[in-house]
Structure 1
Amino acid sequence: MFRRKAKDEPTDEPAEELIDATDGESDPDASELDESAVDADESDLDDADDEDDDLPAELSDQDELDEIDEIDEDVDWRADGPFDHDEVDLSADEVERLDLGALILTPWEGMGLQLQVNEATQQVVAALAFWEQSGLELALLAAPTNGGLADELLEDLTEEAQQAGGSATTAIGPFGPELRRVLPAEGPSGEQLFQVSRTWFAEGPRWLLRGTLLGEAGLTEDDEGASAPFVEFFRNVVVRRGNGPMVPGEVIGMTMPTVPQG
């Protein structure tokens, strides 16, 4: 929709009546979100055993995911967003946006939004955008000035998946190195299912934005198909971190929506 310090003509229509709020833990995890919000149930995942032969074909071939070793470190993965608040002029267009304090979102018509709230602090710690059979969970974390938090999260989430009996691989996505995880899950009748997801990481000035694709979009490998609207949505996120000191990895809380930015 716009680039740093410049905007294209807006094309998306604002979404209406899309806010829902739920209680959650202080450390957001996509697997803990209400699955009905993104319909990430047995209709989206393959019944399977723990063996690689039963995993979705596009995620079971390690050789196809080794391109991470060939990444160009000079690529600016945030050239087209997500953006820092100081990099853009939101007053330059008439697009209606949702202001969540730390994050400013640009929804599209028909998109739903669920906010995950820390019950103890009443702070919004994650936002889940959902549409049809897919969803994208957003969480904002404080990061060190010299970066590097994305690499740490990749390692931690990979280890977490392996300890849970699942698998995790790294590949190049639209925002740089991304994590593709397959986690075991139990169906409503006790059957063995798998939850498949893709996680994006975007590092800005002392912040890291994490986006986790769920449902049908989590089964994709590129920025086409079910993931396409979420790729554009993630690009247009604007981060307003604030200037206060924070511990790297600490969740930066959001607020309930205010009057739309326009």
Structure 2
Amino acid sequence: MIFGRKARAEKREHDEAFEDEPTAVDEDTAEPDEDQDPAEVQDPVDPRLDGPFDYEEVALEADEVQRITFGPLIITPFEGLGLQLHGNPDTGIVQALLATFEDSGLELALFAAPRSGDLADELRVEIIEEATQGGGHAQETSGPFGPEVRRVMPVDGPEGEQLFHVSRVWLVEGPRWLLRGTLMGQAAMVEGEDAPSDVFVEFFRNVVVRRDEAPRVPGELIQLAFPEGQAPQG
């Protein structure tokens, strides 16, 4: 990630300016409450601390990186990356962008979200319930962008055999938008050092969202668009 940041960079500089200054501590309150859950006293984790970003939070003109704009989504390609737009060819509506690399893929979809920022929690519950109803299994776990859903769904093989589709779902909310990333293939199954998911984590962090000002219902899919100068393939 090379582009400059706006408001977030200013806040980080402000925080760092006070890191080395001594803080007065009341001796009566210095000891932690033994009855308090440690998780309750931790600062909440910002899943967007290192991206994905809103367009108003960054200065894309601060570097010379070549990016591709798909309507409200701006992505940074890398060598070996494949890109496919998914939608309805009859209507020209583009619903999602699939980024592929080697034996893995990451599908991006953008949704309208309320200012309250609670849509991600609702969608995680829905994903888990839908997986269970479909005969699969899903659970919420910790991921690189906060809570994520790991899902295993049964599918029929080419000869009628029982196979399973494994995926990881990232849900990250920004100002009035929610970006969903669905990780598939080897990247969804293999973990550890130098895992195939690492390249998609970095790719997802570099996504920039530029949502329009049109009023939308929370959860409404926001259409993507073909890059300028390109048309749908019939």
* 1:243, distance to aligned residue in structure 2 (A): 1.1
Where does residue 93 of structure 1 map in the other structure? 63
Equivalent in 201, 221, 228 of residue 251 of structure 1: 221
* 1:220, distance to aligned residue in structure 2 (A): 3.4
Q: For residue 110 of structure 2, give the secondary structure of its aligned residue in structure 1.
A: strand
- TM-score, normalisation: structure 1: 0.71
Supply the distance in 1 between the matched residues of 2:130 and 2:190 (Cα, whole angstroms): 22
Q: For residue 222 of structure 2, give the secondary structure of its aligned residue in structure 1.
A: coil
Alpha carbons 1:77, 1:175 under 8 Å: kept:
yes
Where does residue 228 of structure 1 map in the other structure? 198
Give aligned pairs, total.
198
Greater RCO (Cα-Cα under 8 Å, separation 6 or more): 1
- TM-score, normalisation: structure 2: 0.80
Structure 1 residue 183 and structure 2 residue 153: aligned?
yes
Where does residue 42 of structure 1 map in the other structure? none
* 1:258, distance to aligned residue in structure 2 (A): 2.3
Q: For residue 75 of structure 1, give the secondary structure of its aligned residue in structure 2.
A: coil
Where does residue 82 of structure 2 map in the other structure? 112
Equivalent in 109, 117, 123 of residue 139 of structure 1: 109
Where does residue 5 of structure 2 map in the other structure? 4
Supply the distance in 1 between the matched residues of 2:217 and 2:43 (Cα, whole angstroms): 26
Cα-to-partner distance string for 1:213-234 (whole Å, 9 max, x where unaligned) = 0000111357841101100000
Aligned CA distance change for structure 1 residues 171 and 224 (closer, same or farther; 3 Å): farther
Equivalent in 165, 171, 174 of residue 135 of structure 2: 165
RMSD: 2.1
Alpha carbons 1:4, 1:80 under 8 Å: kept:
no
* 1:203, distance to aligned residue in structure 2 (A): 0.4
Question: Which one-letter code corresponds to 1:4 in the other structure?
Answer: R
Q: Highest CA radius of gyration, 1 or 2?
A: 2
* 1:207, distance to aligned residue in structure 2 (A): 0.3
Supply the distance in 2 between the matched residues of 1:112 and 1:209 (Cα, whole angstroms): 19
Aligned CA distance change for structure 1 residues 73 and 178 (closer, same or farther; 3 Å): farther
Question: Which one-letter code corresponds to 1:239 in the other structure?
Answer: V
Question: Which one-letter code corresponds to 2:5 in the other structure?
Answer: R
